[in-house]
Amino acid sequence: EAVRAVREMQPKAFVFENVKGLLRSSFDNYFQYILLQLQYPLVSKRKAESWEQHLSRLERFHTGSSKTKLKYNVVYRLLNAANYGVPQKRERVFIVGFRSDLCIDWSFPESTHTEDSLLWDKWITGEYWKKHQIPEPRLDRKTTLKIEKLKRK
């Protein structure tokens, strides 16, 4: 449905978000198929064509010298919401595309938060506990090892 929407609406740009499992190796061919469909939405699947046959045709189209009226520059990345300040670990695949005739240079933004930064604020400076006015809990063995590694940096 995402590809159909891009084909019909021909937006200047799109953003799709999906589960991390989409990047599992067992989905690799199908994920490549999705990306190529988003890149060349006018190269539609024919009625009697399987998705595998359509993938092969898209690959030939992509590697050949074929021109198309509509093409998107498509990139994807697995992002964790926690790395952007959201207070939960939520990994999602983001697929972003820009119509190629717009000549837009774009990349995913750098993360603003890191696990190392959080560990530093919690266990080295103690700022985290002061800021949230909660008592500092006891450290478990795994966290202690992470902190020791962080202190050596």
| pLDDT, tens digit only, all 153 positions of the chain | 999 999 999 999 999 999 999 999 999 999 999 999 999 999 999 999 999 999 999 999 999 876 778 999 999 999 999 899 887 889 999 999 999 999 999 999 999 888 788 888 888 888 888 988 999 888 889 988 988 888 887
pLDDT at 75: 97
pLDDT at 87: 79
- Rg, C-alpha atoms of the chain: 22
Backbone phi, then psi, for 98, in 5-degree steps? Answer: -125, 140
The vertex-79 CA angle with 78 and 80, nearest 5°, equals: 130
pLDDT at 123: 83
pLDDT at 81: 92
pLDDT at 138: 87
pLDDT at 44: 93
SS3 of the chain: the string is CHHHHHHHHCCCEEEEEEEHHHHCHHHHHHHHHHHHHHHCCCCCCCCCCCHHHHHHHHHHHHHCCCCCCCCEEEEEEEEEHHHHCCCCCCEEEEEEEEEHHHCCCCCCCCCCCCHHHHHHHHHHCCHHHHHHCCCCCCCCHHHHHHHHHHHCC
Model-level pTM greater than 0.85?
A: no
The vertex-41 CA angle with 76 and 75, nearest 5°, equals: 10
